[in-house]
Amino acid sequence: SVEAALEVALRLHSRRPAGPREDILVFLTGAEEIATAAHAARELAAALPAELPALEVVALHAALPADEQARALAPAPAGSRKLILSTNVAETSLTIDGVRAVVDPGYAKEKSFVRERGMEVLATARISRSAAAQRAGRAGRTAPGEVWRLYSEADFDAMAAEPTPEIARCNLAHALLLLKSMGIARPAALEWLDPPPPAALVGAARQLYLLDAIDVSGALTADGRRMARLPLEPCLARFCLAAARLRCVRAA
């Protein structure tokens, strides 16, 4: 939980004297959770003993402006320590120099397609063992570090060895539409790095047919070509085309 992760982080801060680049990295699941945790951490840090280093609480996730991301990556001011609250963007995408401790609750947000509902959802899920190893590796990249995992060894052993590739759990309708717009008539015949499940391609084709983006032979329709030019999921692209024809784009 957020509360447990902050408690461990503040304990680590309290027992680590001020030193060169001894920052603490906490993995959380999303921007909203990070904002809540940052507010709580700043209030708790204000009540810490004065002899401890100042604690600079910073957020790190993909939706932040570039200058705020740069602040999370920059060294802490002299005599202070950074508490970095990050999504899994810090697992592999970014290297934060100076992190000596990682707190890992073991969860991340994961997008997946729920076929029964016909839509994608973003849900909190357990990370894989390889992701846990990546998170641990963020600590001590240039000096000895430590990781605090907020789950048991049994939980770790029960995790999947590797994360499920996104192509195997997400709606492929948009990808299929783009491939067809590039003249690739048989996407299943491509040499995929991770082949998509056949049922997912069939479901994507069915959705495109119901949206009148492809015809019964699988070829793009005129509307399908228009939809492919819009940077939107097919259902939203179809919605925009309909709104234009009904002259209610602003309301739509």
pLDDT tens digits for range 23-38: 999 999 999 999 999 9
Confidence of residue 17 (pLDDT cuts 50, 70, 90): low
Q: What is the mean pLDDT of residues 49-75?
A: 86
Phi-psi region at 59: left, alpha or beta (left = phi > 0; alpha = psi -120 to 50): beta
- Which is nearest to 149 in space by CA: 160, 163, 139, 141? 139
Q: What is the mean pLDDT of residues 194-204?
A: 91
Of the chain, the end-to-end C-alpha distance in Å amounts to 39
Q: Between 46 and 118, whose confidence is greater?
A: 46
Contact 135, 103 (CB under 8 A): no
Confidence of residue 172 (pLDDT cuts 50, 70, 90): very high
Distance CA 239, CA 24 (A): 46
Confidence of residue 19 (pLDDT cuts 50, 70, 90): low
Coil, strand or helix at 236: helix
Q: Between 189 and 219, whose confidence is greater?
A: 219
Residue 14 confidence (pLDDT):
86
Residue 208 confidence (pLDDT):
96
Distance CA 8, CA 62 (A): 25
Helix axes 2-15, 31-46, angle to 10 degrees: 40
Which residues have a Cβ under 8 Å from the Cβ of 244 and sit 6 or more positions away?
none
Listed in sequence order, the DSSP H helices in the chain are 2-15, 31-46, 66-73, 89-92, 129-136, 153-158, 173-181, 198-210, 222-228, 234-245
Confidence of residue 71 (pLDDT cuts 50, 70, 90): confident
The answer, yes or no, to whether residue 153 has pLDDT greater than 80, is yes
The answer, yes or no, to whether residue 18 has pLDDT greater than 70, is no
Q: What is the mean pLDDT of residues 161-181?
A: 93
Distance CA 196, CA 58 (A): 38
Q: Between 86 and 115, whose confidence is greater?
A: 86
Percent of the chain with pLDDT over 70: 97
Distance CA 74, CA 149 (A): 25
Confidence of residue 239 (pLDDT cuts 50, 70, 90): very high
Residue 116 confidence (pLDDT):
73
The answer, yes or no, to whether residue 161 has pLDDT greater than 70, is yes
Residue 74 confidence (pLDDT):
85
Q: What is the mean pLDDT of residues 130-158?
A: 91
The full length of the chain comes to: 252
Residue 20 confidence (pLDDT):
58
Amino acid at 3: E
- Which is nearest to 52 in space by CA: 7, 14, 78? 14
Residue 215 confidence (pLDDT):
96
Distance CA 215, CA 230 (A): 19
